[in-house]
Each structure stands twice: as structure tokens, then as C-alpha cells.
Structure 1
Amino acid sequence: MTTPQHHGVSRRSFLKLSGLTALSVGGMTFLTACGPAAQDSGSAATTSAATGTASAAGATLGDGKTLRVGMEAAYAPYNWQVSEESEYTIPIENVSGAYADGYDVQAAKVIAKALGMEPVAVKSDFGALIDALNNGQIDIVCAGMSVTDERKQSADFSDSYIDDDIVMVTKKGSKFASATTFADLKGASVMGQADTMYDDVIAQIPDVNHMTPGKTVPTVVESLSSGTSDVITYSMLSVPKLLESYPDFVELQMTDKFEGSVMPDNAAIAKGQDEVLKKINEAIATISDDERQQMWNECMDRQPA
């Protein structure tokens, strides 16, 4: 997933490298490797000839009734597949008897309501979503996707409906617990996750012991719990759940911030539909920061282990 155009690594790519999906360790649900789409999903489903072009009214997608939402449905907590319907789910159009849940699904439901449409998920490989959008197989992408310069050439992107970032965590009572600047961390042993921005950003902190990264998020967390590391880098959105499970951990209240670490989640539609995009952005703006965090926490609780 890519950060905005001024950031080089996409959030999607970043999470695929670190591979974030759900993994339970010691009662704590972690983000870890994103699995492939289910075998019966294939690429995006072939649908009617509706192309997603705006109607004469200027603010309608597809047939104006059913909002076909492209996603992997295999990328918790952003989106995943379940076999039972609930208040949180939408049907997966191209997988019989299946439903989609996750943060992207909740955002898609808000957008669909604003457009006066009923949302259904269309399960697809992540790399095929923009093509599916432009081929008229789906009407919108809500899939943990971030806007990039390259993607902007092929689709129009909404405002972000959630933004993750990288924060740091230590133990209560640690000599680094009161750190507010990078300089305050001098001499600390800092660990992040291998092959991700969580490890890369540590290079921005001078005079620390940049430890060999952990292969998984649970490995990184265990290093702090056991005292192997003094400080770890972690997902800002996931910190509240981490602190619930590890009450001896504390988030550092830093005034120094990492550069290039913000990871937005944007919806995408076919280009040239300005009135639709305006409506989508108006819908996204109705979701307050507190509601976004609550939605995220609830998805973290529901996501598959």
C-alpha cells in the first residue's frame, strides 16, 4: 500500500513485505502476513457491461443500484472473508455463500449509503483491482490501497478514510519511557520488523543500537517483553490493543516524528467522475477520528486468528 506521492513505499507494498494479517500470540491479536486470495476467487468477476461511468445525474456509479466493491477479502483487518452474514458484512458477489468484513467494508458501507446504493464485494487479486475498475468489473476499490503517482495515472482517489503511522513503544519504568525526542533515545536498542518500514525508519534515529529486525510482529513484541530490546516500532492504530494485552508497555510521546511513515487508505474509482468523487469524499468526511479508531478496534477484535 502506498503512502501519498511524496512517499516511496506503498502501504500495500509495505504490508505485503511485512506481510500484515492476523496472528494470535499469547492472547494478543497481531498483524502479520497477508495471505493470498482464496482459490475460488480468481480475478475480479466478469459482470455486466456497466462501466462505472457517471450517469447523467453526475453522481452515480455502475448501474446506480449495486455498488461493486473490489477487494482481496484476504487482508485482515482491512478486509477478509467469512461464511456467516452479520451486521458488519456484505455479500461477496463472486464467491458463493461468502461475505466480506473488515475496515474497508465498513468504509464502503458508508460510501454506498451516501450514493444510495447497496454494496457487494467482488473478490480479486490486489494487483488486478485497478484493471478491474477500468474494465467495468467493479465500481470502486476499497482494499487497503493508498494513492501513488503511478496509480493516479489510472484511477482517481478519494480522501483517506484512515491513516496509520509508526510509533514507538517501551516498558514502563524504562529509562527511555520519558523520551520525547530522538536524542533522548541515545544508546537504546531498537527493533522493528524485517523488510518493512518499521525497520527502515529506525535509521532516522541517531546514536541507537539498530537491532537485527524480527521476522514477525510477535517476535518484535517478545523482544521488548523479554528485555532483549529497549524500544520497538509499532503500528499507531494497533497500539491501543497492544497496551491492553501488555499493561507494562507504554507508547513514547514523541515530538520528533518519522519521515515518510504515514500510510493512508484511499478508495479508487475510474477517472473522470468528479461529482461521484465529491460525494465519496463528503461521505468519508462524516466519519470522525474517534469513529475511525473505534471501527479499527472492532475490526481488530473480529478479524480471523
Structure 2
Amino acid sequence: MFKTKNLLKMVVVSTMAALLLAGCGGDKDSKGSSKDVLAKIKEDKKIVFGVKYDTRLFGLKNPSTGKVEGFDIDLSKALAEEMFGKDVKPEYVEVTSKTRVGLLNNGKVDAVVATMTITDERKKEVDFTDVYFDAGQSLLVKKGSKIHSIADLKKGTKVLAVKGSTSTINIREKAPETTVLEFENYAEAFTALKAGKGDALTTDDSILYGMAEEDPSYELVGGTFTEEPYGIAVKKGNKDLVDALNKALKSLKDSGKYDEIKNKWIKK
């Protein structure tokens, strides 16, 4: 009987200890797990944005300064200041179309501001803010190309795109006879186009304008053939952070600050 009572006590004590440890561990858990991301941002006094490093006009690392620059960068800085004043500093982590959801969901970044189109499929994985930029998919070709629109993408033509983007899905649906070659990022895709490995490069017009600005021997053709509304993505279930971002975005638009940032980078 004595042994039974002692054994029972040991089980109770062990269970309580395990529960206490679990509670302590939860406090140290990654962002978006046991603690709300917004609360963790305020506690850490920093917000980590996932941004592109290879997308001229939106997020491009300047080789001379080592800093990433563009519309998405300036907008995220303005959003951080609107939400937190000077108390929280923005930090940046490079993402690509392929890696951004994974880095968001494993807590490496708090929010993704990276030319990310809002789609029903992506809404299953992440939560989005309101639309912060309206783009549309188009084609970039060498000036003088025989390709003038998506109707010219027939069997034997090659179109370059980026892995993990909606562009690859759309082009296969709208030009099923063309061959689609996928690359890790936009820099690689544009280099391949200039090397003659494809007849056209497809992605959002906003991104293609940056490439045409970089090399004026290329141009956009055929207008847009999809709608690509960009949203800021956060880890699923973090409604407080989504609400805070939406409130800040509206405030920037109402004050004219949003247009100031947009006009600085997007001249079309």
C-alpha cells in the first residue's frame, strides 16, 4: 500500500512537472506558435519582413551599398513606423517566390512584402492583408521580336518564368503549346532571356518594367492577360497583425504617403 501511494505521488509530480515545462517552453516558442506574432514583435522591438532581393523597382539589393531598395522596402518601412512609431525597427530577410511561404510559416519572417499575388490557393497556407498593389501578367521580349502578344506563343516557342510564381501556372493555361522553362529567381530568368535561351519572359508587368528599365533593348508587349493583386502575407491565424497592417496601409493611402512611395518607384 505504501509503495502504491508513493508511486501515485511520483506520477502526479512528474505530470505536473511536465505541464510546467511545457508552459515554460511555450513562452519561448517560435513566432506565431504559443505567442501572437504582433505581441512578439512588440516584445522584440523588431519586425522582420521577407522581401525580394532580385526584383528591380520592388526589392533589389544595391551592389554598391549592400542595401535592398524598392517600393516594397519603402512601403514596409512606412508601415512599421505607422504601426509602432520608432519603438520597433524593421529588418529584412531575402525571400524568393519559391521560399517565401516556408520562411513565413517557420517563423523566420513576420510578414512577406514580396510582389505576392493573392490567390485562393495561397489563402489556404497564409493570411493576406488588403491589396497593396494591382499588377497584371505580361510578356517581355527583345525589341524586334516576332512575339507581339500571348497569341504568338505557339509550339516551338519558349517562355521563361520563375519557380513558385503564379506566372508559371497562368502561362501554361493560356499558352498550352509553348514550352515553359523555370528558374530560381528573376535575375536568372532575365539573364537566360538575354542569352537567347527563350523567346519571352513572363511575370507581372510591374516586375517586367524594372527589367526593361535595366536594359532598354527589351520591351513589354501585348498588354496584361491576368490580374495580379499583391497582398502582404502573414502566418495563418494572426488576425491582430493583419488588422494592424490593414489599418496602417489605409492610413498611408489616406495621408498621401502611399502615393508618394509608389510614384518614386513606379513610373508608368
What TM-score, normalized to structure 2?
Answer: 0.54
**Which residues in structure 2 correspond to 1:234-273 (within 5 Å)?**
234-254=203-223, 257-258=225-226, 262=228, 264-266=230-232, 268=234, 270-272=238-240
Change (3 A) 1:141 1:172: closer
Q: Cα deviations across residues 88-109 of structure 1 (Å, max 9, x unaligned)?
A: x8xxxxxxxxxx8665442232
Identify the residue that residue 192 of structure 1 maps to in structure 2.
Answer: 160
Change (3 A) 1:189 1:284: farther
Structure 2 counterpart of 1:62, from 42, 65, 70: 42
One-letter amino acid matched to 1:202: I
1:123 positional shift: 6.5
Q: Is the 8 Å Cα contact of residues 163 and 263 (structure 1) preserved in structure 2? A: yes
1:207 positional shift: 7.0
Change (3 A) 1:264 1:51: closer
Paired with 2:30 and 2:151, the residues of 1 have a C-alpha distance of 49
Paired with 1:81 and 1:225, the residues of 2 have a C-alpha distance of 20
Structure 2 counterpart of 1:171, from 142, 145, 158: 142
Identify the residue that residue 303 of structure 1 maps to in structure 2.
Answer: none
Paired with 1:274 and 1:194, the residues of 2 have a C-alpha distance of 27
Q: Is the 8 Å Cα contact of residues 44 and 129 (structure 1) preserved in structure 2? A: no
Identify the residue that residue 250 of structure 2 maps to in structure 1.
Answer: 282
Change (3 A) 1:146 1:266: farther
What TM-score, normalized to structure 1?
Answer: 0.49
Structure 2 counterpart of 1:108, from 59, 63, 76: 76
Change (3 A) 1:169 1:295: closer
Paired with 1:158 and 1:123, the residues of 2 have a C-alpha distance of 19
Are residues 1:292 and 2:262 paired? Answer: yes
1:158 positional shift: 2.4
One-letter amino acid matched to 1:291: I
**DSSP 3-state at the match of 1:238:** helix
Q: Is the 8 Å Cα contact of residues 71 and 261 (structure 2) preserved in structure 1? A: no
Paired with 2:143 and 2:222, the residues of 1 have a C-alpha distance of 13
Paired with 1:62 and 1:204, the residues of 2 have a C-alpha distance of 44
1:243 positional shift: 1.9
**DSSP 3-state at the match of 1:241:** helix
Change (3 A) 1:189 1:280: same
Alignment size in residue pairs? 215
Q: Of Structure 1 and Structure 2, which has the larger fraction of its residues in helix? A: 2
- Aligned Cα root-mean-square deviation (Å): 4.8
Structure number with bigger Rg: 2
Paired with 1:80 and 1:221, the residues of 2 have a C-alpha distance of 14
Identify the residue that residue 149 of structure 1 maps to in structure 2.
Answer: 123
Q: Cα deviations across residues 161-211 of structure 1 (Å, max 9, x unaligned)?
A: 33554310223333333x3xx435456713113644444433233474x23
1:160 positional shift: 3.1
Paired with 1:232 and 1:284, the residues of 2 have a C-alpha distance of 33
Percent identity of the aligned residues? 16
Q: Is the 8 Å Cα contact of residues 50 and 111 (structure 2) preserved in structure 1? A: no
